[in-house]
Amino acid sequence: GLDKEQVDSPDLRNPQSRYHGFFHNGFINDSTHTIWVNVDEPEMIDGTSRTNDMEVEAVKRVLTYLKNSKGFDEYMNYWETIKDEEKRKLEKEVGLISFYGKQVGKLREVRSTAKQLGIPIRLNTVDKFQGMERNIIIVSTVRSDKLNKGNNIIVPNSDIGFAKAPERLNVALSRARRLLIVVGNKNFFYKFKDREGNPLYKNAIDEIAKNGRIIDYKSLTEYTKR
């Protein structure tokens, strides 16, 4: 297994280190490596794809909280010492991924927020992100137990789509070296069972509850000033 001392080593250059050093009340501390940001809001159908507007909003708030975390600027500045431009870029980029192409399209509007905050992001679908790693990954899961059919007609939804294949989520979840933030409808994923009746996400979410944090996106109030 991983050596706890190496994993917690504040030397960011230590290849085994998962340390980031961020602290923000109500959001993160330096031993937090996984956060589930609960967004209990409806999804929408867009062609053959799905989108979730409130998850886009939640991602903006997450980036703002990261930026305003104690230790974040130091962490970003640390990578400036890397001579190799390509490696420096990789270390600084926050990976922002979703399973749905249309949601990736919607997440483009996060770019201006990220730019204002000075946080470089790499935006992609999960499948395109295969084989890539980033220190910090934010995953927008999109699926919800409620579907907005337009004109404010909200109906229940039980289809979890891509998430029936947990290996795809595992690809997403294993891409984060230091911090993984999942944005999604926690209870929907928690309760979801496969055809054999096995809960697919319960263990992962229990693990995040135990060793990471579960936060409601509404508790991440909007920052008005830096």
At residue 128, the pLDDT reads 84
pLDDT along the chain (226 residues), means of 10: 80 91 96 96 95 98 97 96 94 94 96 96 87 91 95 92 74 85 96 90 92 96 64
| One-letter amino acid of 75 | Y
Rounded-to-integer distance, Cα 59 and Cα 183, Å: 7
| One-letter amino acid of 31 | S
Q: What is the DSSP letter of 130?
A: T
Tally of CB atoms within 10 A around 76: 16
Whether the Cβ atoms of residue 177 and residue 134 lie closer than 8 Å to each other: yes
Q: Of 134, 117, 116, 118, whose CA–CA distance to 126 is shortest?
A: 134
Residue 133's alpha-carbon distances to 32, 51, 177, 203, 207, in angstroms, are 18, 24, 7, 23, 21
